[in-house]
Chain A
Amino acid sequence: MQIENQMYKLTGGVDPLALCEKYACPLYVYDSAIMKRQYERMVNAFKVKNLKINYACKALSNINVIQYFNSLGAGLDTVSIQEVETGIKAGFEPQEIIYTPNCVSFAEIAEAVEAGVKINIDNISILEQFGQTYPNVPVCVRINPHIMAGGSSKISVGHIDSKFGISFHQVPHVKRIVEATGLKVEGLHMHTGSDILDSGVFLQGAEILFNIAREFKDLDYIDFGSGFKVPYKEGGVCTDIEDLGEKISTRFNNFCQEYGKDLTLMFEPGKFLVSEAGYFFVKVNVIKQTTANVFAGIDSGLNHLIRPMFYDSYHHIVNVSKPMGKTRIYTVVGYICETDTFGVNRKIAEIHEGDILGMHNAGAYCQTMSSNYNSRYRPAEVLVHEGKDYLIRKRETLNDLWRNQVETQLFSKVAAE
């Protein structure tokens, strides 16, 4: 979102205030041009013969977004059978989808096999069951490289205490299962965490995976997960994807030569592809001045965007209605009946009741983590594509909140006889 003629504009000159007027706040808006820019950055950065970027749709699972990444040539990274089904409904060929669950039932994995998608297994017990049940279905094995990386303990998933993946110390056990069942290991995978800044972490993980890869002769791909950091603050730091691409590509190409086969280099970015593409627009209900603070109370809360409360995430907040006003200090809070603070002591152009605020980086893990807490409706979603806006999710209604509730009549008030 850029300021043009003193007003914020989305790509193609689309006016966010007009969208808020048309679809009402609170409102999620996604800019497809930014998704494309990020996808192309990855394709340009990694210089290998076979590259596959699997969009991790848990970040933003609207079917239109999934279809958009399909049209760009991406594959799909999924973590539940429902995401698998959505990917197939969106038009992905099953083999373009990789299913990476953890701690799910074997019955769900069986459904994924039936669907024909690539299966990524992250524990020994499931691998044993899988090998005995489906010896002819190739699998990918998720390795835990025991690397502590990521923006916080909640999003670091490759360390020794993490529940994710099979420890690289257990590779001999994996090999025994493979030999005993005749399974074909077609891929190796690791995912160390999110918000990783240091390319050294990837290279360290890559070496671990390459060492393991030498022990499996039927590989088709190596999946390095993702975790690339995107800027959340103005001028904030991010992963230098071009530098990382150069280093990983060189190392990967050398490994392919040594391995004697052109393997596919895979990644599964979610946040990197969609975070910056999303904006969350909210209306200011009240300005409340206390002895210590000036609060801007908005028509949303942790029910719609929980990242600031859950991860202590920073989301840049701007006054979209009056961007050129004098800057003042505000604490932006929600309407939920517990503390739901979006930002403390933020410098924002002077806010008046009724103004529209815009939260940046609202594309990843925002709408998908929203809820109906306090019996509030989840917001509408709009996609801005080539200068036009498209409603891609309707705002919920009271009927949506009641839809699956079963009223038993057990306790309904009976009229006195």
Chain B
Amino acid sequence: MKHTINFLKIKLAVLFFAFLFFQSCPNGKAVKTISSIDQKYLYTMDGKKIKLPAEKDTTTTTFILVRHAEKGVNGKDPDLTPDGLQRADDLAEILKQIEVSHVFSTDYIRTKDTARPTAVDKGLPLDIYNPSNQNSLLGHMVMDPDYKNVLLVGHSNSIPAALNHLLATSVYENIDHEEYDNIYFVRTSDGEKTKLISLKY
């Protein structure tokens, strides 16, 4: 009888820790942290590499989607905090090895400051887009072969909306207000299923 109670306790503890683990990992999968990316692989901080879906032809577009980095609390159009500025620099560093064709940001200080280090590093203009009409822009980029690897910096509501549009789903909900470290890689190719890899940075 005593053994049975102890066994039950162990079982409950295992279930409790498993619950905590899966709570922190959406979809039940551990979300890894990216260290860099090149044309073929994503490299994670724990030394793993994840193969990107193969580029099919000229119709392949890879979207790199991030919410702006940590923002301050000053007014309606706040700056990035020091942590946020550091994250923006980290983003440029992560994307160092991949050829980025376009950098898009909404017309806010926090999004532009998140995108700017990457744009400067790549020698690209910072393209401003209206998040309300982003589906039109996304549709255009999917169709136009000039858009190869596109960084799109948006907001806690517009980035999930972009994922839902690109992946033809509605499962992505607004990002938590305190969450700034998600990075999504979405690869689309004509006639192929759109693929997503979610990481942290």
Contacts and interface: CB of A to CB of B under 8 A. Distances in A.
Interface residues of B, number: 13
Contact of B135 (A43, A74, A253): A43
A50 B127 CA distance: 11
A44 interface: yes
A136 B117 CA distance: 36
B130 A47 contact: no
Contacts of A46: 136, 139
A51 B137 contact: yes
A48 interface: yes
Nearest to B146: A257
B144 A51 contact: no
A53 B130 CA distance: 12
Interface string B109-141: 000000000000000000000111101110110
B140 A53 contact: no
A72 interface: yes
User: Looking at chain A's contact residues, is the secondary structure mostly helix, strand, loop, or mixed?
Assistant: mixed
A132 interface: no
A48 B143 CA distance: 10
Contacts of B136: 43-44, 46-48, 51
A249 interface: yes
A46 B136 CA distance: 6
A249 B136 CA distance: 10
A49 B140 contact: yes
A40 B140 contact: no
Given A73-B130, A73-B132, A44 B140 contact: no
B133 A253 contact: no
Contacts of A249: 139-140, 143
B167 to A, nearest CB: 14
A47 B133 contact: no
A72 B134 CA distance: 11
A189 interface: no
Interface string A293-320: 0000000000000000000000000000
Interface in A27-58: 40, 43-44, 46-53
B137 A49 contact: yes
A73 B140 contact: no
Contacts of B131: 73
B142 to A, nearest CB: 8
Nearest to A73: B132
A50 B141 CA distance: 11
Nearest to B165: A44
Contacts of B144: 253
Interface in A172-229: none
A329 B109 CA distance: 63
A46 B139 CA distance: 8
A52 B137 CA distance: 11
Contacts of A49: 137, 140
B133 A73 contact: yes
Contacts of A253: 140, 144
A249 B143 CA distance: 10
Contacts of A73: 130-133
A40 B161 CA distance: 12
A105 B3 CA distance: 95
A390 B124 CA distance: 47
A44 B132 contact: no
B44 to A, nearest CB: 33
A43 B140 contact: no
Interface string A239-250: 000000000010
A40 B142 CA distance: 18
B130 A44 contact: no
Contacts of B140: 47-49, 249, 253
B139 A47 contact: yes
Nearest to A42: B136
A282 to B, nearest CB: 36
Contacts of A51: 133, 136-137
B199 to A, nearest CB: 28
A52 B143 contact: no
Contacts of A44: 135-136, 139, 165
A74 B133 CA distance: 8
A205 B139 CA distance: 24
Interface string B141-173: 011100000000000000000000100000000
Nearest to B143: A47
Contacts of A53: 133
Nearest to A265: B136
A413 B143 CA distance: 78
Contacts of B132: 43, 72-74
A53 B134 CA distance: 12
A249 to B, nearest CB: 7
Given A43-B135, A47-B139, A249-B140, 6 more contacts: A43-B136, A44-B136, A47-B140, A51-B137, A73-B131, A249-B143
10 contacts: A43-B135, A44-B136, A46-B139, A47-B136, A47-B139, A51-B136, A73-B132, A249-B140, A249-B143, A253-B144
Interface of B: 130-133, 135-137, 139-140, 142-144, 165
Interface of A: 40, 43-44, 46-53, 72-74, 249, 253
